[in-house]
Structures are given as C-alpha cells and as structure tokens.
C-alpha cells in the first residue's frame, strides 16, 4: 500500500489516552514521578551511566524482595515472561513439579511445566481459597521424586493470599526447590525471600510498584544457579537462558545479550526509589489501611467478599456482584461517568465477581472514597435502596480507627 493510499484509507494521529483511575487487578495508576522518569532521554544500553543505574535496580530489588541473592534483576518482558523464565531454566525433560492451582495463574504454571517437558502433579484448591499446606504435603509425600514446588503467593484472579513461608518450609523438608509468583504481592504484602527460603521468585512492575506494565523483577537463589549450571540439556530458550542473562546483568561483565528497555527501566528504578523512600513496612501498612476503609464502606452496601478475612489480599478486593445488579452495566457506567476502571471476574468468576485493586499509587484515600461514592450512586440509580454517604462515612471511621503506624 502506498503512502498516499494508506493516508487516504486511514486517519491516524497522535494518541492521547484519557486520564483513568485504575482500580482493577492491574495495571494500577502510574505515579507522575514514574511517568516523568520514563520520558527522560534514552541512553545506550551499554553506557556506563546506564550500567550504574542497572546496579541500583538490582540493589533496590534485593531490598524489595528482602534477599541477598546475587541473581536479582528485571526481566525485559511482562510477568508472564518472568514466570516462563523460572520454569524453562529449572525444568529438564521428565522433571516432576508439584503445582498448586487455586486460580488462573496456577493453571498457567501447569501449562509452563508441560510445555517445558516437565510432569505436573496438580494440587487443586477452590478458587478463592488459599493453597492448603496439608494437600501439598500429601503430594510431596506421594511424589518423593518431585523436584520443584510451584505456587502463587497472591492470586490475581481471586484475591487470595497463600502462606508462602509454610509452603517453602514444606518444600525444603521434601527436598524441593520453590517457584513463587508474587506478581500482585510485591510491595503490597510482606515477602521475605531469604527468611522464607524462596528459590525462584518473579513479579510484575504494574501492580503495587505503580510502574507501567512490561517488566518482571526476578530473583534466584544459589540453589537455582547451581541447578542451571549442572543442567544436562541446554535451556530451550535463548532469550530466557539465565546463564546468558547473567553475563549481561552481572556487574563485572556486561556482555551484550539483548538491548535493555532503557526507558522502562528508568520507570522501574523510580518506582523502586519511591518504595525505598516510603519503606516496605509503611507501604504494606498503607495497602492494609486503605483496604480496611474500603471494606468498611462495601459492608454498608451489603457487598460480600469472595475470600475469608484471614486470607484476603488487601490490594485486591474480590467481591460478589450483588443480586440483581448487572455486571457490565455497572463497569461501563463507572468507566464512562467516573473514568474509573474496576476488574471483571476471570474464568469461573466471570459475571459473578468484581475485583477492586488498591495497589501502589492507586491505594489512596481519595480513590477509596471516590469509588465508594460512585458505587452508591450507580447502585441507587439501578434501584437499590441505599442512603447516600453511608459508605464514605464508614470509610472515614475506619481511617480514624486505623491511623498509619
């Protein structure tokens, strides 16, 4: 198609996105400091100034993951690539992997095991319930040849938090390495890689770190490094081969591997600096505090959570859609009238569940109040009998009762 033909067929101009408030399961709102960082001039990926920034990212990620692991860096792809990087490096043909499935991302782990030549032993729990350590122990006992235990710490599809510490202890006891998905937990809920003995961990930039999507922070223990060094077969991906990547992210080597996504890494750096300035403990407390207030507001509208209180992720509130309320009509109205995005249910939860994210920058008092008021208005307009302002009052009361530590 010639330039002239294309120009007359299509009328495409600069894209100006609307300003949303992102309260779905991710991405969350990107902080203006992070957006500014992203727009700074591009550097060469081998520039010494850029190399120094990469070292800072490694340090900041070690802090965020609470680990001393040397092999801690950012994968140049979204969380799904971080996940695949763990499996493709750690599995050799025929290896047995115990995979816990209590939502969408457990299923994706099984796909990963099988596509990389492993055998998945699946431990199922209901959607909305945490991984049951007893079932995991039974599976590990029944499969003494299992090499890896893989589970999701914070299930984005259901809003449930599993007990990573207990599961990792079990894995050690049965001589298994662990692969842990923390896409939705990093920065929002406590993660202690070294204390809990996690071997391979991956996350995403776009949830509680408030960075645009596209990068996946990862960390690997020495047990993983040794495993990969002693593989009998070559990792069957060139891009994801940890051995090659180490040469690039290693502080002394910096061998050309691929062209790092410079500007996206500026953004990640800034979001990690913000996490470090706030402090992990305060970030966790903020996520919890906004969750408590939001929960108090939802309660006044008779909205029920999917997950039992003790297993709830503060940053991801999965609730049942009230009877008689039209899922899509509400979400469309919120987007159209409030520029507010909330999450639909995935898989079995489609049409039945909403997911409200309070992650990173999106986890703030203004958003809690605005969202509660918007829901009250929309429900009232749909004929639900609600006294306007009740939810907001309940939220404010919760804030008063739960000051920041």
Pattern 279-298, a copy of itself, x by CB under 8 A: xxx-----------------
Q: Does 15 bind a copy of itself (CB under 8 A)?
A: yes
By CB under 8 A, name the one of 161, 193, 267, 296 that touches a copy of itself: 267
By CB under 8 A, name the one of 119, 228, 273, 285 that touches a copy of itself: 273
Residues numbered 119-178 forming contacts with a copy of itself, rule: CB under 8 A: none
Backbone angles phi, psi at 333, to 5 degrees: -65, -45
Q: Does 254 bind a copy of itself (CB under 8 A)?
A: no
Q: Does 214 bind a copy of itself (CB under 8 A)?
A: yes
Question: Strand, coil or helix: what is 15?
Answer: coil
Which range touches a copy of itself (CB under 8 A), out of 63-71, 140-148, 376-384, 395-403? 63-71
Q: How many residues bind a copy of itself (CB under 8 A)?
A: 92
What is the nearest approach in angstroms of a copy of itself to the Cβ of residue 235?
7
Nearest residue to 402 (alpha-carbon basis) of 279, 314, 329, 310: 314
Backbone angles phi, psi at 161, to 5 degrees: -110, 130
By CB under 8 A, name the one of 33, 135, 223, 254 that touches a copy of itself: 33
Q: Which long-range contacts (CB under 8 A, 24 or more apart) does 136-139 make?
A: 136/98, 136/100, 136/167, 136/170, 137/170, 137/174, 139/98
Contact indicator for 154, 185 with CB cutoff of 8 Å? yes
Q: Does 259 bind a copy of itself (CB under 8 A)?
A: yes
Contacts of 287 by beta carbon, 8 Å cutoff, 6+ apart: 188, 189, 208, 314, 315, 358, 359, 363
CA atoms of 45 and 41, how far apart (whole Å): 12
In angstroms, the first-to-last Cα distance of the chain is: 62
Q: Does 7 bind a copy of itself (CB under 8 A)?
A: yes
Closer to a copy of itself by CB, 20 or 135: give it.
20
Q: Is 312 one of the annotated binding-site residues?
A: no
Which range touches a copy of itself (CB under 8 A), out of 45-53, 134-142, 305-313, 365-373? 45-53
Helices 390-401, 365-381: axis angle to 10 degrees equals 160
Closer to a copy of itself by CB, 102 or 271: give it.
271
Q: Does 310 bind a copy of itself (CB under 8 A)?
A: no
Question: Which residue do the tokens 């493709």 mark?
Answer: 88
CA triplet 158, 188, 18: central angle to 5 degrees?
A: 80
Closer to a copy of itself by CB, 133 or 261: give it.
261
Which range touches a copy of itself (CB under 8 A), out of 17-25, 316-324, 374-382, 397-405? 17-25
Residues paired with residue 181 on neighbouring β-strands, in sequence order: 152, 202
CA atoms of 48 and 59, how far apart (whole Å): 17
Pattern 85-114, a copy of itself, x by CB under 8 A: ---x-------------------x--xx-x
What is the nearest approach in angstroms of a copy of itself to the Cβ of residue 308?
26
Residues comprising the binding site for substrate?
A: 355
């Amino acid at each position: 198609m010639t330039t002239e033909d294309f120009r007359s067929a299509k009328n495409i101009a600069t894209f100006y996105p609307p300003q949303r408030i992102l309260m779905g399961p991710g991405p969350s709102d990107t902080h203006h400091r992070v957006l500014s960082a992203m727009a700074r001039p591009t550097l060469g990926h081998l520039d010494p100034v850029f190399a120094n920034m990469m070292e800072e990212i490694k340090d900041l990620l070690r802090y965020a993951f609470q680990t001393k692991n040397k092999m801690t860096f950012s994968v140049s792809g979204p969380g799904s690539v971080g996940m695949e990087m763990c499996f493709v490096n750690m599995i050799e043909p025929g290896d047995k992997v115990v995979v816990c499935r209590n939502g969408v991302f457990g299923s994706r782990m099984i796909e990963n095991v099988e596509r990389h030549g492993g055998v998945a032993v699946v431990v199922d729990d209901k959607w909305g319930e945490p991984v049951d350590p007893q079932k995991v122990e039974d599976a590990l006992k029944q499969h003494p040849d299992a090499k890896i235990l893989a589970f999701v710490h914070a299930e984005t599809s259901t809003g449930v938090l599993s007990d990573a510490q207990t599961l990792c202890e079990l894995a050690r006891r049965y001589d298994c390495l662990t692969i842990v998905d923390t896409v939705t937990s990093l920065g929002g809920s406590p993660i202690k890689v070294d204390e809990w003995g996690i071997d391979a961990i991956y996350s995403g930039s776009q949830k509680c770190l408030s960075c645009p999507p596209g990068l996946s922070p990862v960390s690997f223990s020495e047990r993983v490094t040794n495993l990969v060094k002693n593989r009998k077969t070559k990792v069957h991906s060139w891009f994801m081969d940890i051995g090659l990547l180490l040469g690039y992210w290693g502080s002394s080597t910096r061998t050309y591997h691929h062209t790092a996504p410079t500007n996206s890494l500026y953004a990640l750096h800034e979001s990690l600096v913000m996490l470090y300035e706030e402090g992990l403990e305060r970030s966790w407390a903020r996520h919890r505090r906004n969750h408590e207030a939001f929960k108090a507001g939802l309660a006044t509208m008779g909205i029920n959570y999917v997950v039992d209180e003790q297993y709830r992720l503060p940053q991801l509130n999965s609730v049942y859609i009230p009877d008689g309320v039209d899922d899509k009509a509400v979400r469309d109205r919120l987007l159209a009238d409030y520029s507010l995005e909330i999450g639909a249910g995935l898989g079995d939860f489609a049409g039945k569940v909403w997911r409200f994210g309070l992650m990173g920058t999106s986890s703030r008092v203004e958003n809690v109040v605005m969202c509660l008021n918007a829901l009250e208005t929309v429900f009232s307009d749909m004929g639900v009998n609600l006294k306007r302002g009740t939810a907001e009052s309940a939220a404010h009361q919760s804030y008063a009762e739960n000051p920041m530590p």
